[in-house]
Amino acid sequence: MKRIFVACGSGVATSQTVASKIQSMCEDEGLDVSVEAVDIKSLESIIDQCDIYVSIVSDNADEWDVPTIKGIPFLTGVGMDEEFEKLKELIEA
């Protein structure tokens, strides 16, 4: 099972929305994942516990040593299919 973290400023509304969307999309595809919304402030101490990071904050995408995809498309729908394809490749790798 791959562990995915989704982080926004507070770890509440936006990241919860994106995490739920990703969890649902992965379940529809039969992918075995755990998706968690986390607070960006706690991310540094827990980032090593995840396999994939979904960034909603645009300025820190390259900061972590884990595969990272963009989370905004899962909110807006714009570019979501492309990002989900990237996510699926990372999950299946």
Find the domain containing 13 and state its range. 2-92
Taking only the tens place, the pLDDT of each residue in 37-50 is: 998 888 889 999 99
Number of domains within the chain: 1
Highest mean pLDDT among 5-14, 17-26, 52-61: 17-26
| CATH number of 65's domain | 3.40.50.2300
Taking only the tens place, the pLDDT of each residue in 55-93 is: 987 655 567 789 999 999 999 999 999 999 999 999 999
One DSSP character per residue, the chain reads -EEEEEEESSSSHHHHHHHHHHHHHHHHHT--EEEEEEEHHHHHHHGGG-SEEEE-SGGGTTSSSS-EEESHHHHH-TTHHHHHHHHHHHHH-
